[in-house]
Structure 1
Amino acid sequence: MTFDWSFFWQNLVSPDGAFLDGLWMTITISMVAMAAGLVLGTVVALLYRSRFTAVRTFAKFYIWLIRGTPLIVQLVIIYLGFAAAGIYKFQDTDVLGVAVKGAVQAAIVGLTIHESAYISEVIRAGIASVDRGQTEAAMALGMRPAGTMRWIVLPQALRTMVPPLGNIFNGLMKHTSLLSIIGVSEMFLVAQSISSTTFKTFEIFLVAALYYLLLTTVWTFVQAWIERRLDDQVGITQPAGRKKLNRPAPAEPVTVLKGVNDA
């Protein structure tokens, strides 16, 4: 078997419409699931910090359960298991005039739940990194706990949370390849379809791998830009070649006059 370079370059430089649709599906699901995961992960992190034992226990159990089971199993249970058990069946529906298949809905729900367990731990660690004196000072000034968290704690914790959250999103884009198990026409499933009809397995999956690499590389630059912006806001000195903070000029040397010591 020989490598078909013409087929490879054609699909790499000018992929067909089905492949581009799969690429767009991968990007869309990743962004929606990450946004929803941030919301749910924040809620779980706050529940983990609750003063009520039952609430904290629920949050711990949720994180333990989701992190301890594979994503592919969770997807199958959510999409097929719930329907078989009569709990819930995802139906095709329209959202703002856009047809959304049931499998896509299940994929977003499954990824949101899965990623929220990891996001909650990142947010919890970020909140814990903020000195407790900040919270005590805000409370002494009369701020409510919700306002303290919103205006004092979370803005300071955000800088430490961005790198691990960026890594989670990076992994999320690659995790979308598992959605083929429930029939979502994302990039990996489209590559499988092309492979089964053309028998150019290595060529088309190499193309898919390079597009996944492109997505993660673009996100790496976006994440670096976000981190630089946050560094500028909190006043962290940048390395050489980047914007530096203005520092006060050194004090003028003091000249001692002759005869002062003799006086």
Structure 2
Amino acid sequence: MSAAQPSSPDKEFPYWLAAAGAIAAGVAIYVGTSDLYAQVFSIVVRGIGITIFVTLVGFALASALGLGIALMALSGSRVLREISRFYVEIIRGVPIIVLLFWIAFAGVPAFVAGWNWLTGPLAQAGIVEPMMVRDISLLWRAVIALTIGYSAFISEVFRAGIQSVDPGQIEAAKALGLSRFQRFRLIVMPQALRTILPPLGNDFVAMVKDSSLVSVLGVADITQMGKVYAAGSFRFFETYSIVAYIYLLLTVSLSLALRGLEKRLRRGPTG
């Protein structure tokens, strides 16, 4: 008699999810019935809009920039390949929080100074107004820093996904007379997406968590709202418990949604 085969992980009952859901429901009930926790939640949740904005805009820009860097890395030009490798290795070697400070307090002022130097004659003629450092808000400085920081990692995800496509299919598309853009849109990207999506989803969830770093610039996200409330009330345990709870709700929900999307892609359109 043959031994029983282990069940597929996809078919196993998610006990961890049931436990997490029960805990989340219990915390929600407690928050709803406790005046103190309800007050903390009502304050901290005001920053969720900024957290979502920073994550969505930063990830969209990082994905676009990362795709461009990946295409440079796969181009036939040695110069473009070297520029791409230089960018990826340098940016990946800098911690996100250091990059955040550098962009906010060094990069942006340097950019403004360079812009004003280039547009100096136009400013003297009254055609344009000189730019001020304060014209670029701390929120957008944070978005720019996350965009640059994550684009290096995302570019490697795109590069690996594109290289996973069978070169024979690309050659066949060439033989059919498809242009470079048509080959990329119709042949390469649909197949590469299945390889790209899991690590890209992980980077998206990671950006949700790393968006909390914008609080060091005073941007009013979830973490900053918690810091301000805790500093004024000295309710550190209650405040940061609620902050952690909100982030867990966001990240676990996103992880489950992305996992469901991966399963649909693996099954294909006919399921």
TM-score under structure 1 normalisation? Answer: 0.78
Cα distance, 1:20 vs structure 2: 2.2
Instruction: Answer yes or no: is the 8 Å Cα contact 2:73–2:80 preserved in 1.
Output: yes
Cα distance, 1:38 vs structure 2: 1.0
- Against the structure 1 CA distance between its residues 231 and 10, is the aligned structure 2 distance closer, same or farther, given a 3 Å change threshold? farther
Identity %: 36
How many angstroms apart in 1 are the aligned matches of 2:237 and 2:33? 9
Letter in 1 for 2:51: T
- Against the structure 1 CA distance between its residues 162 and 182, is the aligned structure 2 distance closer, same or farther, given a 3 Å change threshold? same
Alignment of 1:172-251 (within 5 A): 172-233=207-268
Gap regions ≥5 residues in structure 2: 1-29, 116-131
Cα distance, 1:228 vs structure 2: 2.6
Instruction: Answer yes or no: is the 8 Å Cα contact 1:79–1:90 preserved in 2.
Output: no
Higher helix share: 2
- Against the structure 1 CA distance between its residues 193 and 7, is the aligned structure 2 distance closer, same or farther, given a 3 Å change threshold? farther
Query: Which of the two has higher C-alpha Rg?
Result: 1
Q: 2:148 aligns to what? A: 113
Cα distance, 1:6 vs structure 2: 7.9
Q: 1:140 aligns to what? A: 175
- Against the structure 1 CA distance between its residues 210 and 64, is the aligned structure 2 distance closer, same or farther, given a 3 Å change threshold? same
How many angstroms apart in 2 are the aligned matches of 1:113 and 1:8? 43
SS at match of 1:143: coil
How many angstroms apart in 1 are the aligned matches of 2:168 and 2:36? 57
- Against the structure 1 CA distance between its residues 232 and 129, is the aligned structure 2 distance closer, same or farther, given a 3 Å change threshold? same
1:219-252 Cα deviation digits (max 9, x unpaired): 01210221133123266xxxxxxx6xxxxxxxxx
What is the aligned residue count? 224
1:21 maps to 2:46: yes
Instruction: Answer yes or no: is the 8 Å Cα contact 2:55–2:208 preserved in 1.
Output: yes
Cα distance, 1:82 vs structure 2: 2.6
Counterpart pick for 2:80 among 55, 69, 80 = 55
Q: 1:82 aligns to what? A: 107
Cα distance, 1:162 vs structure 2: 0.7
Q: 1:261 aligns to what? A: none
Instruction: Answer yes or no: is the 8 Å Cα contact 1:90–1:103 preserved in 2.
Output: no
Greater than 6 Å deviation, 4+ residue runs: 5-8
Q: 1:40 aligns to what? A: 65
Instruction: Answer yes or no: is the 8 Å Cα contact 1:8–1:203 preserved in 2.
Output: no
- Against the structure 1 CA distance between its residues 11 and 173, is the aligned structure 2 distance closer, same or farther, given a 3 Å change threshold? farther
- Against the structure 1 CA distance between its residues 49 and 28, is the aligned structure 2 distance closer, same or farther, given a 3 Å change threshold? same
How many angstroms apart in 1 are the aligned matches of 2:86 and 2:187? 29
How many angstroms apart in 1 are the aligned matches of 2:31 and 2:192? 50
Instruction: Answer yes or no: is the 8 Å Cα contact 1:126–1:161 preserved in 2.
Output: yes
1:90-141 Cα deviation digits (max 9, x unpaired): 545xxxxxxxx70111111111111111111001001111111011110111
Cα distance, 1:23 vs structure 2: 1.3
- Against the structure 1 CA distance between its residues 8 and 201, is the aligned structure 2 distance closer, same or farther, given a 3 Å change threshold? farther
- Against the structure 1 CA distance between its residues 155 and 6, is the aligned structure 2 distance closer, same or farther, given a 3 Å change threshold? closer
How many angstroms apart in 1 are the aligned matches of 2:133 and 2:42? 27
Letter in 2 for 1:140: A
Instruction: Answer yes or no: is the 8 Å Cα contact 2:165–2:192 preserved in 1.
Output: yes
Say which structure, 1 or 2, has more relative contact order (CA 8 Å, 6+ apart). 2
Instruction: Answer yes or no: is the 8 Å Cα contact 2:72–2:81 preserved in 1.
Output: yes
TM-score under structure 2 normalisation? Answer: 0.76
Gap regions ≥5 residues in structure 1: 93-100, 236-242, 244-263
